[in-house]
Amino acid sequence: TFPKHVRIVEVGPRDGLQNEAARIDTATRIDLVERLIAAGLESIEVGSFVSPKWVPQMADSAEVLAAVVGRPGVSFPVLVPNDKGLAAALAAGAREVAVFAAASEAFSQKNLNCSIDESLARFAPVMATARDRGVRVRGYVSCVLGCPYQGEVPVADVVRVARRLIDMGCYEVSLGDTVGVGTASAAARMVAAVAAEIPIERIALHFHDTYGQALANTLACLDLGVAVIDASVGGLGGCPYAAGASGNLATEDLVYMLNGLGIDTGVDLDRLIGAAQFISAALGRPVASRVGRALGDR
Ligand code: HMG
Ligand code: MG
């Protein structure tokens, strides 16, 4: 049975923009976040505190976060890979951060320059400091349905890493199909295996739409009771360490489907499409999402 309400975690300002060749200036990124707030999103991932040598697009995340943090009723998580990232995020006022691990060893090396276990060990002090400061921590697991380097990823590896993140104190774990290779039955099987170990309320899903499967995968997993879905306005996105990864599931495609299913999100579709048009224009291209294109000219 479907949930009555779905919390959408909007990741466009982070996952969406981290992989764009065109640099979006800080004021434009802040303007995008303001439009997403106005559209009614309750959780907006605004940036990451990672090495600017690795992901230069996110180098101004402190300014973006500081411009919006504290806005009532909205959380603004930011990615942190280690202590250094957490310290910078806290200095910018972060009230929520996200750590990110992978279910694939090869991807962990490419994305974090360390093994899965080393990454988890680095998160331990991050979790401790965050707990002391009353900051919530979300956890990501990448490559849950396949890896661009390793190929197949055993479900047992996804379960193990998700479990570790929850045991370490993450309030929620977001399962990422980083390259978008998964299909509906594989997604549902993977989620069912994780849900056997972790309460379904603590599972979020993060699909990339590279193969056009994101919406179908989402629907299959909503039916299992998952009620938190990551998505990216305008279908922006990708991952600099996952060749071929295209955008995330587009937020407006997701909202359109959920509206049709009678599932509440609190998001105003017209305003959301306006935000998609705004950022797509700033990137110099048409809106990539189907719903954005279909409804964009009204
Ligand atoms: P490293 O080179 O092994 O790190 O990288 P290091 O500790 O040896 O430090 C190297 C340099 O980076 C040093 O500076 C550090 O100070 C600096 P230098 O002395 O050379 O001038 N440094 C930092 N600077 C700023 N912020 C920091 C930080 N840490 C170290 N936090 C590291 C390790 C983790 C830093 C690097 O691998 C990195 O930044 N990786 C981030 C990669 C990334 O952001 N990937 C995209 C996000 S994940 C994703 O998209 C997937 C997701 O969407 C889910 C899905 O789709 O599956 C979440
Ligand atoms: Mg992603």
- In this prediction the ipTM stands at 0.98
For ligand 1, the distance from its centroid to the CA atom of residue 50, given in whole angstroms, is 4
- Nearest ligand, CA 49: 1
Ligand 1 within 6 A of CB of 112:
yes
- Nearest ligand, CA 118: 1
Residue carrying the six token digits 């992901």 = 55
* pLDDT beyond 60 at 238: no
pLDDT band at 22 (very low <50, low <70, confident <90, very high): confident
For ligand 2, the distance from its centroid to the CA atom of residue 178, given in whole angstroms, is 5
- Nearest ligand, CA 89: 1
What is the CB neighbour count within 10 angstroms for residue 155?
A: 18
The token duo for 60 is: 């101004």
Segment 21-37 shows an average pLDDT of 95
Ligand 1 within 6 A of CB of 100:
yes
According to the model, what pLDDT value does residue 296 have? 86
Instruction: Report the Cα 267 to chain-centroid distance in Å.
Output: 17
* pLDDT beyond 90 at 39: yes
Ligand 1 within 6 A of CB of 111:
yes
Closest CA to 73 of 19, 125, 18, 7: 7
Per-residue pLDDT of 54-74, as tens digits, reads 999 999 999 999 999 999 999
Ligand 1 within 6 A of CB of 241:
yes
According to the model, what pLDDT value does residue 155 have? 98
Ligand 1 within 6 A of CB of 54:
yes
According to the model, what pLDDT value does residue 2 have? 95
Which region among 27-36, 64-73, 164-173, 231-240 has the lowest average model confidence (pLDDT)? Answer: 231-240
For ligand 1, the distance from its centroid to the CA atom of residue 186, given in whole angstroms, is 30
pLDDT band at 297 (very low <50, low <70, confident <90, very high): confident
According to the model, what pLDDT value does residue 1 have? 86
| Residue 128 three-state SS | helix
* pLDDT beyond 70 at 244: no
pLDDT band at 21 (very low <50, low <70, confident <90, very high): confident
According to the model, what pLDDT value does residue 170 have? 98
pLDDT band at 285 (very low <50, low <70, confident <90, very high): confident
Q: What percent of the chain stands above pLDDT 70?
A: 97
Look over the chain and give the mean of its residue pLDDT values, rounded to a whole number: 95
According to the model, what pLDDT value does residue 3 have? 97
Per-residue pLDDT of 105-157, as tens digits, reads 999 999 999 999 999 999 999 999 999 999 999 999 999 999 999 999 999 99
According to the model, what pLDDT value does residue 123 have? 98
Q: Do residues 141 and 183 touch, judged by C-beta distance below 8 A?
A: no
Which residue in the list 143, 170, 221, 239 is annotated as catalytic? Answer: 239
Which region among 195-199, 255-259, 292-296 has the lowest average model confidence (pLDDT)? Answer: 292-296
Ligand 1 within 6 A of CB of 239:
yes
Beta bridge mates, 147: 151
Q: Whose CA is nearest to atom 36 of ligand 1?
A: 112
Segment 217-232 shows an average pLDDT of 98
Per-residue pLDDT of 76-88, as tens digits, reads 999 999 999 999 9
Segment 6-33 shows an average pLDDT of 94
Whether residue 170 lies in the annotated active site: no
Q: Do residues 220 and 25 touch, judged by C-beta distance below 8 A?
A: no
Q: Exposed, middle or buried: residue 26 (CB in 10 Å: 0-12, 13-18, 19+)?
A: middle
Ligand 1 within 6 A of CB of 43:
no
Q: What is the pTM of this model?
A: 0.97
For ligand 1, the distance from its centroid to the CA atom of residue 247, given in whole angstroms, is 21
For ligand 2, the distance from its centroid to the CA atom of residue 249, given in whole angstroms, is 10
